[in-house]
């Protein structure tokens, strides 16, 4: 029941924010697809996304907010944000509901069109509910800025894992991906 409620809430939040400028990010590999949509809110970014695993038919939905900023020097450009995400969905045979704190960054050395980025979100036991006692979602990637500050393609690696209250770990995804991000 709570899954259906979460999907409905995320849908209405995303549709209400769809009128503002933002980003669209899609990445895939043989088994997993992720779609993320984000919009600017003041100096921050509100985002909604979903990840689907084709083999296990599991999915995770998330909504998050990051306080974002950008810095530029003669050495390069940096984009960074800190904040959190709320994750929900099945993790193996168990349900997940977690409030994960973390952030994202991308560094473009020499102000060029190739960047290195990463993200990490972690929910300790006190912020993980249902049968999951800890949860994390982390990844690294190399970005190629095809259209300056508008179109990006990237290669990356991601790990999404939860620790269950019975002491075992469940990997939702641990693999590479190829993706594209469009800012509009």
- Arithmetic mean of pLDDT, 21-47: 95
Q: For residue 175, what are the CA distances in angstroms to 12, 69, 106, 178?
A: 31, 29, 20, 10
**Residue 12, H or E segment:** helix 2-17
Q: What is the pLDDT of residue 15?
A: 46
Report whether 139 contacts 156 (CB < 8 A).
yes
Report whether 113 contacts 148 (CB < 8 A).
yes
- Arithmetic mean of pLDDT, 132-143: 95
- Is residue 9 pLDDT above 60, yes or no? no
- Is residue 55 pLDDT above 80, yes or no? yes
* Entry pTM: 0.85
End-to-end CA distance of the chain, in Å?
A: 35
Q: What is the pLDDT of residue 88?
A: 94
Task: Quickly state the pLDDT bin for 73 (edges 50, 70, 90).
Answer: confident
Domain residue ranges in the chain: 2-183
Q: What is the pLDDT of residue 2?
A: 46
- Give dist(CA 12, CA 10) in Å, integer: 6
Residue 18 three-state SS: coil
Domain 2-183, second-level architecture = Beta Barrel (2.40)
């Amino acid at each position: 029941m709570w899954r259906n409620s979460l999907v409905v809430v995320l849908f209405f939040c995303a549709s209400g924010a769809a009128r503002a400028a933002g980003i669209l990010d899609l990445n895939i590999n043989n088994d997993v697809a992720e779609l993320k949509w984000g919009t600017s809110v003041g100096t921050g970014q509100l985002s909604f996304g979903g990840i689907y695993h084709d083999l296990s038919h599991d999915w995770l939905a998330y909504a998050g907010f990051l306080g974002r900023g950008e810095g530029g020097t003669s050495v390069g450009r940096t984009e960074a944000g800190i904040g959190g995400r709320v994750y929900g969905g099945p993790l193996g045979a168990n349900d997940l509901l977690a409030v994960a704190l973390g952030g994202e960054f991308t560094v473009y050395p020499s102000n060029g069109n190739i960047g290195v980025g990463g993200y990490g979100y972690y929910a300790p036991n006190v912020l993980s509910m249902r049968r999951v006692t800890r949860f994390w979602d982390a990844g690294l990637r190399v970005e190629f800025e095809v259209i300056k500050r508008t179109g990006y393609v990237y290669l990356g690696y991601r790990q999404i894992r939860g620790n269950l209250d019975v002491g075992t770990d469940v990997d939702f995804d641990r693999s590479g991906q190829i993706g594209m991000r469009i800012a509009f």
